[in-house]
Amino acid sequence: MTANNQIRLVKNVRIKGIACALPEKVEEVMSLSESFGAESVNKIIGSTGVERRHVVTEECSSDLCLSAAERLISDLGIDKSSIDTLIFVSQTHDYTLPATACVLQERLGLPMQTAAFDVAMGCSGYVYGLWMAGSLLSGGGSKRALLLVGDTISKIVSPTDRAVAALFGDAGTATLLEFDPSAADIPFVLGTDGRGAQNLVVPAGSYRDRKGHSTQTNEKGVRGPYDLYMNGAEIFAFTLARVPALVTALHEADAESGKAIDKYVFHQANRFMLEHLVKRMKLDRDKVVLDVKDVGNTSCASIPLAISLHTGKAGGQICGRFMLAGFGVGYSWAGCVAEFENVWVSPLTITSTVNAETSL
């Protein structure tokens, strides 16, 4: 076992299904040519692999997750009264308070016995959510958990910041997990290095700097204190420093299974970063899921969305050993190896603004 990566084993937990939702509005990256010039935008597309993104108008992350959850519950034929835990993972919550999970409990019609709470995580958020839901199920505190993971990062991106304007899209996802004594163990690796927090940050708007006095990331004509700031070079260096060790630790933890990994699904940061990781770790490129062309970087939603896009428009059941790994904002990283045994993946849902909840 790699010395710097603790293996956290989750037992008796099965992933039953995944569903994803995108907003109907689509923005072409080439439309940014007026701001940055066609040559510059073509270079951005060539590096990131992103040609277009789905972005919200009035919708929130919760609206997208709601659509995904309703589709998944319907497809699986699940009795809503059997769902006893609801976890909402996002960096773009509806309100400072109450917790968005509480609002979603009511909107979904889940029973009042449901434990519902929010988790503020980004790029590693999906795997963190699997670990939290799985730990509750494994420990006997829950029998069936609904994990809702989504972000609307387009709301906090400055359209004049070439580092991020062409990169981020919006998405919401739903994953159903349940207690099952016959399920294969799931090894997790989790880690944090808060020294990198300043390299991917929105400095103002919450309680550290509510009124936007911060100037640490300001750049006139590019971004202000309420806009997302990303130091791409530092994020890239962090990824190369942490992800290979994460993958190695998971390979070593999974070695006893005697089975090969069928698919690697990493956080879909951008094409350049993922292809660099594949070469550095000498992975079989055919086993690595890479699909950012039409959706961009969707933050915490990117892993389940990549699985959905890889499965295809019609959806269906998938099987195999999947290594999932998220990394980024925080700095934070998380990975696991999950046995997908006839996991249902719903057809991708495209939402409309008419489904948005405008107020309490």
pLDDT in tens, 195-229: 999 999 999 888 888 988 888 888 888 888 898 99
Q: Name the active-site residue from 123, 199, 270, 300.
A: 123
Q: How far is CA 300 from CA 157, 314, 329, in A?
A: 16, 23, 10
Categorize the per-residue pLDDT at 5 as very low, low, confident or very high, splitting at 50, 70 and 90: confident
Report yes or no: 153 and 93 within 8 Å, Cβ to Cβ.
Answer: no
DSSP symbol at 219:
B
Report yes or no: 63 and 120 within 8 Å, Cβ to Cβ.
Answer: no
CA–CA separation, 234 vs 195, rounded Å? 11
Active site residue 267: yes
Mean pLDDT for the stretch of residues 278-293 = 95
Mean pLDDT score of the chain: 93
Burial class (CB within 10 angstroms; exposed 0-12, middle 13-18, buried 19+) of 319: exposed
Structure tokens at 311: 């499965």
Q: Name the active-site residue from 12, 20, 199, 267.
A: 267
Q: Name the active-site residue from 5, 12, 199, 297.
A: 297
Residue 357 has pLDDT above 80, yes or no: no
Per-residue pLDDT tens for 242-271? 999 999 999 998 887 778 999 999 999 999
Q: Which domains does the chain have, with CATH numbers?
A: 7-353 (3.40.47.10)
Categorize the per-residue pLDDT at 1 as very low, low, confident or very high, splitting at 50, 70 and 90: very low
Q: Which of 255, 242, 205, 262 is nearest to 326 (CA)?
A: 242
Residue scoring higher pLDDT (4 or 314): 314
* pTM given for the model: 0.94
Active site residue 276: no
Mean pLDDT for the stretch of residues 54-63 = 96
Instruction: Write down the pLDDT at residue 359.
Output: 58
Q: Which of 83, 51, 55, 58 is nearest to 70 (CA)?
A: 83
Residue 358 has pLDDT above 70, yes or no: no
Instruction: Write down the pLDDT at residue 52.
Output: 97
Active site residue 218: no
CA–CA separation, 178 vs 137, rounded Å? 7
